Structure 1
Amino acid sequence: MQTIGVGMIGSGFMGLTYSEVVAKHAEGCRLVAITGGRRAATLAADYGVTAEASVESLLARKDIDAVVLATPDLDRLELTRQAAAAGKHVLAEKPMAPTVAECDEMIAVCKAAGVNLGVVKTERYRKITRKAKEFIDNGEMGPVRMLRTVSAFPQSLAKQLFDERAWMTDPRGGGLFMGMASHNTDFLRWLTGRNALRVFAQATTYSDLPGPPLSVMANIVFEDQIMADMWITSELPDPSLPSSEVRFQVFGRDAMLDLENFEYLDVSRSGKWERIYTPERFDYLKEPKSPIRLFPHRGVIQDFIDSIREQRPPHVGGAEGRAAVEICEACLISARTGQAVNLPL
């Protein structure tokens, strides 16, 4: 089977992340070139690959079979158009795009070109989340009835991110809300194995920070009358909430589950709580290349590469990316209109 040549579009934190994974962790692929962003030349030098002057020149290379779009979400549709036209497979960071309409076009152009479209959903590849999914799927909880999820950050972090990533305040993009919530909405769908049917939400920004809403509370109804609450905010005072960066709680007929991505997985069964998993520790900011941090990213890349080599769709493709964005967009529509929004849009 062929070794897949990968081009990296984007050289920020996630460009570094996926360059490291492609170059040193994933199998059946090799990093060929990097373009885009002020760090592209340095990042390319670090991995001994070419720093291409433009997206066009990178896509023109015959030794590149696929590209990773580690770019702002508002750029992904146009980059996907260009990549598909050049016959390159596409892996898009999350959120897939700021709107369902853009997701639909990304899906359409890749289908027309006969190339794979994958979407980054690291929550599906963490050891701790897979254990949670296994606990639900093995039937110990009985039918799932309700879920609750929180992603909360302090306002000081939002200010720092906006200073470093001005594109997050661009009204054409999904902003920090979609960047956070697209994880949560996909994870809710994945855990339940159900589609969302209706969304009612409120959204606002309490501070003077620009861009899309920074605080959203939503009620989501899934198939089989499964109810979920989702709270996304980046406006809490320091030091924010303990164990709230990415937290999920699942309530079934017979048992309950409480999960914080980087802290613990607790389950309640037979009338008592017990800790069934504690993830390995790492420093997110100081150890960006830690194998512990990169484990779910390797899972994303490996499935994408395998899908190309095996000539099959990726397990997490455009439909999954679109569905996560659809719930997020429905939240914003509901908040704007004051009405519940039925899905699909």
Structure 2
Amino acid sequence: MSKPLKIAVLGFWHVHAGDYARQTEQHPGTELVAVWDDDPTLGQPGADRFGVPFAPDLEALLSRDDLDGVIITTATDVHRDLMVQAANARKHIFTEKLLAPTVTEATEIIAAADENGVKLVVSLPRLAHGYTRAIRDVIDSGELGQLTYGRIRLSHDGAVPRDGTEGWLPQRFFDPKAAIGGALTDLGCHPVYLLQQFLGADPETVSATYRSVAGRGLEDNAVVTVGYRDQKIGVIEAGFASRNPFTIEIFGTDGSLTYTDAGNVLRVAGPASGGEERQVPVPEHGKDPFGQWVDHITDGTRADDNLARAVELTRLVEAANQAAAEGRTIAYEAPTR
């Protein structure tokens, strides 16, 4: 690359905005040049933190000829309008999950990107992690037999009051309009797209139970159950109210596997070890989504798999939120193939 891509961060609403700004500084192919936020109390400190100008005028920022791309870390409810605006300005887009509140909006964003030749990537980082590839290899080997059950849990304690504070996760994450949903819609995205990777993205039914331990306005404790036509069951657990090891469990008719990030340990029990449990090596992580985005821009390629998975993630989160709101199991509207 002859010169780095010039990138602006749009929105310091999300807690990962600073992480992506730092990645932009550290990647040899990118340069952070500006920060915008419709709330200067968020945007100005973000700009000051990274030593770049705060741009109060979004239209003027997007009209800059020297701006190549944007990182969008605003509230989820404005993703559609902001990304379509950026796409129409022909700025490449990297965004925090969730891509959009609804599948309709997600497909509108992707269409706008495609129409303008914009490279769009959604941050789904755990798909590139070593344990994901190792688990996929075990499943593909057939050692587990017919899959019957999968469970993935991810949680942190961001909603729990500590030392006189309401918790380290900002209250804006519990705003029903801006955040769309709580623990499931934010942190729960990771278990959702991983379960879809391992068990499939075409369940028959979805049910959900949401609870609020800290009482901050949205769920901080969530369980989603999906049922498949071949009788598999998948369970997605997400929380802002407990600190537990990240855990994956997959069971089949012939074997089982468990993974925990406590020690980065993957264990498999199946025919290859006489039914006894054995530890399976976990490879290094692959290239992260930000690096993939830069490659798609420089190579002129489309992130086909990433975008397909981002839409299916949106589809299941949308269905889970509906199931929880209505207090019933709903039929899942799988994509038309």
**Band the TM-score falls in, shorter-chain normalisation:** 0.7 to 0.9
Provide Cα deviations, 1:199-237, integer angstroms capped at 9, x if missing partner: 3313233547244433333221346543212233335xx
Provide Cα deviations, 1:218-263, integer angstroms capped at 9, x if missing partner: 221346543212233335xxxx3642xx321112344322123454
Q: Which range is displaced more, 59-68 or 30-39?
A: 30-39
Deviation at 1:327, TM superposition (A): 0.9
Tell whether 2:334 aligns with 1:344: yes
Structure 2 residue matching 1:179: 3-state secondary structure: coil
Distance 2:15 2:236 in 1: 27
**Is the Cα contact below 8 Å between 2:103 and 2:311 reproduced in 1?**
yes
Provide Cα deviations, 1:166-201, integer angstroms capped at 9, x if missing partner: 243233522332002211111111234x22222331
| CA pair 46-207 structure 1, distance change in 2 beyond 3 A | closer
Alignment-derived partner of residue 265 in structure 1:
265
**Is the Cα contact below 8 Å between 1:98 and 1:174 reproduced in 2?**
no
Structure 2 residue matching 1:156: 3-state secondary structure: coil
Alignment-derived partner of residue 86 in structure 2:
83
Alignment-derived partner of residue 10 in structure 1:
11
Distance 1:279 1:242 in 2: 23
Aligned-pair identity in percent equals: 21
Distance 1:157 1:114 in 2: 46
Alignment-derived partner of residue 94 in structure 1:
97
Q: How does 1:316-335 map to 2 (within 5 A)?
A: 316-335=305-324
Tell whether 2:259 aligns with 1:255: no
Q: Among 159, 176, 188, which residue is 1:181 paired with? A: 188
Distance 2:283 2:113 in 1: 37
Alignment-derived partner of residue 304 in structure 1:
293
Matched AA of 2:197: W
Structure 2 residue matching 1:175: 3-state secondary structure: coil
**Is the Cα contact below 8 Å between 1:80 and 1:90 reproduced in 2?**
yes
Q: Which range is displaced more, 56-65 or 255-264?
A: 255-264
**Is the Cα contact below 8 Å between 2:130 and 2:282 reproduced in 1?**
no
Tell whether 2:140 aligns with 1:137: yes
Q: How does 1:1-345 map to 2 (within 5 A)?
A: 1=1, 3-11=4-12, 13-24=15-26, 26-36=27-37, 38-154=41-157, 155-156=159-160, 159-161=166-168, 164-172=170-178, 173-192=180-199, 194-207=200-213, 209-222=215-228, 224-235=230-241, 240=242, 242-243=244-245, 246-261=246-261, 263-269=263-269, 270=273, 271-276=275-280, 299-314=288-303, 316-335=305-324, 336=326, 338-344=328-334
Alignment-derived partner of residue 291 in structure 1:
none
**Is the Cα contact below 8 Å between 1:94 and 1:119 reproduced in 2?**
yes
Distance 1:145 1:69 in 2: 38
Distance 2:51 2:237 in 1: 43
Q: Which range is displaced more, 54-63 or 138-147?
A: 138-147
Deviation at 1:34, TM superposition (A): 1.9
Matched AA of 1:274: R
Distance 1:137 1:28 in 2: 35
Distance 2:7 2:305 in 1: 18
Distance 1:262 1:52 in 2: 42
**Is the Cα contact below 8 Å between 2:183 and 2:238 reproduced in 1?**
no
Alignment-derived partner of residue 285 in structure 1:
none
Deviation at 1:88, TM superposition (A): 0.9
| CA pair 182-44 structure 1, distance change in 2 beyond 3 A | same
**TM-score normalised to structure 1 length:** 0.81
* Structure 2: unaligned runs, 5 residues or longer: none
| CA pair 137-315 structure 1, distance change in 2 beyond 3 A | farther
**Is the Cα contact below 8 Å between 2:131 and 2:266 reproduced in 1?**
no
| CA pair 62-241 structure 1, distance change in 2 beyond 3 A | closer
Instruction: Indicate the RMSD between aligned Cα atoms, in angstroms.
Output: 3.0
Distance 2:280 2:34 in 1: 42
Distance 1:48 1:74 in 2: 28
**TM-score normalised to structure 2 length:** 0.82
Structure 2 residue matching 1:53: 3-state secondary structure: coil
